[in-house]
Each structure stands twice: as structure tokens, then as C-alpha cells.
Amino acid sequence: MGNMNVLFTSIGRRNYMIPFFRESFSGKLFASNSIAQTSGMFEADQAFVSPPIKSSAYIPFLLDLCQTHQIQLIVPLFDMDLSVLSKEKEQFQKIGTHIIVSDTETIENCFDKLAYSGFSNLKTIQIPKTYTSLEDANKAIQTGLLKFPVIVKPRWGTGSIATSVVENLDSLTNTFNHLNAQLGESFLQDPVPSNQKNQMLIQQMAIGQEYGIDIVNDLEGNFFTALAKRKLAMRAGETDMAEIVENEQLQKVAKEIASHTKHIGMLDADFIITNEGEVFLIDLNPRFGGGYPFSHLSGLNVPELYKKWLNNEQPSPADLTIAYGAVIAKGISLHKQK
């Protein structure tokens, strides 16, 4: 059933997802986005400007789109989309459309960086010391529990937006107040509107090598495989260059995270390994992340896995040929509107 039609919601600049899926799916590949002028919209067979995700018209728009164009599969690509679509999965299933998205609780726990403390009972990882107020952070600094440099960042954040590293008390106070005010004017306050308190976090900065791991579960939430990348260059919270690595320690981390979250499909996770070998969890995104192109080009073809699972086929991790040691970099390409 590789001829199924696929819709990518909130595609933005992730134009590369279209050719990746075209390798496995012979049906039409559609894209939607609330802004028309994005490269992902240019790449799709047909593109549609959607209402904003928060709009009451958003879900009816997608349902109509799926029925009109016989779309069998939705792949959401943006954080704000995930929890909205997760809550409406049954509506889409009734019209024959499958959404690859985790359950709402898993999504909200991945969005909420304060909820990462729930991972502290896992054997393979640690969580940086985290505080939700200036008062508590200052007390921890005075007693030596928290040391500079520290990171100030949104509790619900994406793409390193409103995130800053600070080196002293004066900078901590000014940065915390400034970013907290900035956050109130951004979309980052939207993921969990029921809890508007403690929106900013102050966190011990973990020093070491940063890694991204694509953790792949099957469509029932069972661990399938994982691929680790050593980050060599970053830009605006996304990886620009990475090396594909085979790391037994990170494989154990991935399996434990997968078993804990029971996420569906892809989960993009970031970790830092210190010089002492400690593994700190930094970020979780239950979707295709900006580092997925590195994984795909190295041999981890997730669209092909999705196709097989949707056809009730059982792929094996042994079937994957991964180019360990490959160094891959993103470039700039041009896309002409069709």
C-alpha cells in the first residue's frame, strides 16, 4: 500500500521530507502550512494554506482536506501540531486517515522540560539541576548546589528560542526577567495553556559533547531502533553538521527512553555526555527533528519503516545498513514554486 496519499502538516522549511517519503510512497504528497511562502509548500505535489493551529477551523479544515483528497496518512512536523492532532485521532480514523502521533500525555511530557525530572529514575541518564524561580536558583547558587554557567530557557520551548547562557548573578536576573517577558509575546506559551505558571527554567549547564539520537518505535510504541549523531555544528537550535556514530552507551539510553515514553514513530532526543561519561538529557521532541536528514542519508529510512508497518509487515533492524563514521552537512538549496 505504498500508493497511499500523505499529508505533511505545518511543513514549514522541512522540504526534504517530501523526497524522503517519495522514495517509499507512490501516492500524492500533500503539504499544509499556515504560511504559504515556505520551501516545504513548494516541494509538495499540492499545497494548502491552513488556518492557524489554534483556530477552531483548523481540525475541520484538515478533515475536509483528507476526505476531498483521499489522504490516508498524516505526518505532523511541528510541535504545536502534535497535541492538537493527538486529541483528534479518532475523528480522522473514522474517515480512514491514520496520524503518526503519540498520545497526548507523552507529547505534553516531552514538551514540558520540567517533567523531565520524571526520567530521573532511569539508570542510564541524568537530569541537569533545574529551578523554576530566581529565588530558588539564587539560594542554590549561594549554597553551591548550582554553579555558573547556567541556562535560562522556556519550560515549553523549541529551536533554542528565548534561551540564553549566563555567567553571573546580575546577568541571571536580567536575562530571566527579559526572556520571561519575551515569552509572553511568543507562541511558546501555547503548548500547555492550562498551566501558565513557572514558564521559565534555570538549569545547570552540562558541559561536554552534544549528541542527537533518532529513537524509532513502531506504531504500537515498541522500541525498534535508534541512531546517534555527534553534533559538529549548530545553527538556531538545529544541527548543521554531524557524524553518525555507533555508541553502545547511547543505544542503552535510547532503549530506556523508548520504553519509558512508549512514543509512536520518531522521537528526536538531545543529550550531552560529559568528560566523566555522564549522560544528561537535554531535549525530547516526539516527531521528525531537524537532525533527521543525517539519519536518512546514513541509511535509517523511517518512511520505508512506516510503509511496512502500515502494511502490517515486520521490518528488522538487521535489514538496515548504516554508514557509521559518515560526516554529513546541511547546505542551502533553492526551490521554485510549481
In the chain, the percentage of residues whose pLDDT exceeds 90 is 80
122 or 273: which leads in pLDDT: 273
Provide CB contacts within 8 A for 198, sequence distance 6+. Answer: 114, 132, 133, 155
Task: State pLDDT tens for residues 122-142.
Answer: 889 999 999 999 999 999 999
Residues 161 and 267 in one domain: no
Q: Using an 8 Å Cβ cutoff, are 257 and 267 in contact?
A: yes
Instruction: Please compute the mean of the pLDDT values over residues 118-123 and round it to a whole number.
Output: 85
Q: What is the CATH number of the domain that holds 191?
A: 3.30.1490.20
Residues 168 and 241 in one domain: no
User: What is the pLDDT at residue 328?
Assistant: 96
Separation between Cα atoms, residue 23 and residue 228, nearest integer Å: 23
Domain count, the chain: 3
User: What is the pLDDT at residue 272?
Assistant: 97
Phi/psi for 217 (5° steps) reads -105, 155
Assigned domain for 19 exists: yes
Separation between Cα atoms, residue 160 and residue 153, nearest integer Å: 8
Task: State pLDDT tens for residues 172-208.
Answer: 999 998 888 777 655 445 554 454 567 889 999 999 9
Residues 50 and 82 in one domain: yes
Separation between Cα atoms, residue 58 and residue 56, nearest integer Å: 6
CA separation, residue 141 to residues 149, 168, 217, 229 (Å): 11, 10, 40, 33
Residues 134 and 55 in one domain: no
Instruction: Please compute the mean of the pLDDT values over residues 156-167 and round it to a whole number.
Output: 78
Question: Which pTM value belongs to this model?
Answer: 0.93
Helix (H) or strand (E) holding 238: strand 238-245
Assigned domain for 200 exists: yes
Assigned domain for 295 exists: yes
Alpha-carbon torsion angle 132, 133, 139, 140, nearest 10: 20
Separation between Cα atoms, residue 130 and residue 117, nearest integer Å: 9
Domain that holds residue 48: 5-101
Report the chain's mean pLDDT, rounded to a whole number: 92
Task: State pLDDT tens for residues 6-54.
Answer: 999 999 999 999 999 999 999 999 999 999 999 999 999 999 999 999 9
Residues 189 and 249 in one domain: no
Residues 174 and 213 in one domain: no
CA neighbor of 169 nearest in space, from 126, 199, 209, 135: 135
299 or 336: which leads in pLDDT: 299
Residues 178 and 233 in one domain: no
Task: State pLDDT tens for residues 80-91.
Answer: 999 999 999 999
Q: What is the CATH number of the domain that holds 49?
A: 3.40.50.20
Cell of 325: 563514521
Task: State pLDDT tens for residues 44-72.
Answer: 999 999 999 999 999 999 999 999 999 99
Has residue 113 got a pLDDT over 70? yes
Instruction: Please compute the mean of the pLDDT values over residues 92-96 and round it to a whole number.
Output: 97
User: What is the pLDDT at residue 193?
Assistant: 46
User: What is the pLDDT at residue 2?
Assistant: 65
Q: Using an 8 Å Cβ cutoff, are 152 and 131 in contact?
A: no
User: What is the pLDDT at residue 1?
Assistant: 59
Q: What is the DSSP string of 166-198?
A: E-SHHHHHHHHHHHHHHHTTSGGG-S-TT--SS
Provide CB contacts within 8 A for 126, sequence distance 6+. Answer: 120, 278, 279, 280, 281
Cell of 128: 541537569
User: What is the pLDDT at residue 238?
Assistant: 81
CA separation, residue 8 to residues 19, 21, 175 (Å): 12, 10, 36
Residues 321 and 233 in one domain: yes
In the chain, the percentage of residues whose pLDDT exceeds 70 is 94
Confidence grade of residue 117 (pLDDT, cut at 50, 70, 90): confident
Cis peptide before 149 (omega within 30 of 0): yes
Residues 45 and 145 in one domain: no
User: What is the pLDDT at residue 130?
Assistant: 95
